[in-house]
Amino acid sequence: MQIETFKIFLDLAESGSFSRAAVANGITQSAVSQQIRALEQRFQVSLIERSRRAFALTAEGEAFLGASREIVDVYEHLDDRLKSLSNTVEGQLTVGVIYSIGLHELPPYIKAFRAAHPAVEVHVEYRRSWELYDAVIDGAVEIGLVCYPAKKKGLQILPFISDRLVMICHPHHPLATRNSISLRDLEGERFISFEPDQPTRKVIDKALRDQGTHIHHAIEFDSVETVKRAVEIENGISIVPSRTVLQEVENGALAAVEITTPPMWRPLGILLKRDRARSPAVREFVASLQKPLPAGT
């Protein structure tokens, strides 16, 4: 039984389409069907519900799917297992990040790591927070960086850094002259929000509810960059991580005011697939994320 057969079944089960599985493996739909029948004959089970119009796996097919994932994952990452026996820090490294981390927190760490390990080629992929958990589990990225990390089966979560949340507004806004505020000071304000499914939005909404503060959600965006631009041009406020507005505060485009009641923080976490062999490059990169940055970085 060849490893390609397990991959064909995996692609078929995950896509639910013989044609897509054929394209993914560079073969015909007929060849896909032949490979599935060969599996069924080899193990004397039915893997696919052929009595239904819609694609569906049998109970045996579901069990076989889990085993196929493990087999294909071990095969595809065998190189990592072999490299993990070596201490040579080289090769490629794929890091998946949400946009705000990739644009603001991660760059100095990437710069320091590349200077220390020039033989490693670091690729950074931008994804939505909820996508990164599956991307790490599926092996699409080796390391994931998210905010407000949530526990998930199959993942190991390590701490990265925490960033304080601040209120931002146009420099001419009445709150811009304050040294600090409480959330209750935001009562009735026009608020530029993150989209409801974003972790930072959920934390902000809960904090406002806990303080009994009512704001007007004027508009919602999916990234901190568009939130900042909207605050610059709209007569509204927002709450964002302080590191994301350092440049705008410095050049006078925005004012940032500390929130003291309650103090609000955004913890960042490192996602790793549990029990996966890690190359020296992965180990060194994770270690670099948990160290203070070199002076001048």
Averaged in consecutive runs of 10 residues, what is the pLDDT profile of the chain (297 residues)? 82 88 89 88 87 82 85 73 64 93 94 93 93 92 95 93 96 94 96 93 96 94 94 92 95 96 95 86 93 70
Asked whether 260 and 182 are in contact (CB, 8 A), the reply is: yes
pLDDT of residue 204: 96
Instruction: Give the long-range contacts of residues 84-89, CB within 8 A, separation 24 or more.
Output: 84/277, 84/278, 84/279, 84/280, 84/283, 86/280, 87/280, 88/119, 88/280, 89/117, 89/119, 89/120, 89/280, 89/281, 89/284
Domain assignments of the chain as residue spans, ordered by start: 3-76, 87-161+268-289, 162-266
- The answer for residues whose C-beta is within 8 angstroms of residue 126's C-beta and 6 or more apart is 96, 97, 98, 99, 102
pLDDT of residue 296: 60
For 87-161+268-289, the fitting CATH number among 3.40.190.10, 3.40.1410.10, 2.40.50.140, 3.40.50.720 is: 3.40.190.10
As a whole number of angstroms, the distance between CA 178 and CA 151 comes to 38
CATH architecture of 162-266: 3-Layer(aba) Sandwich (3.40)
pLDDT of residue 87: 64
Q: Do domains 87-161+268-289 and 162-266 have the same CATH topology?
A: yes
pLDDT of residue 85: 56
pLDDT of residue 295: 64
Q: State the fold for domain 3-76.
A: Arc Repressor Mutant, subunit A (1.10.10)
Query: What is the separation of C-alpha 224 from the centre of its chain, rounded to a whole number of angstroms?
Result: 15
pLDDT of residue 297: 58
As a whole number of angstroms, the distance between CA 282 and CA 297 comes to 21
pLDDT of residue 294: 67
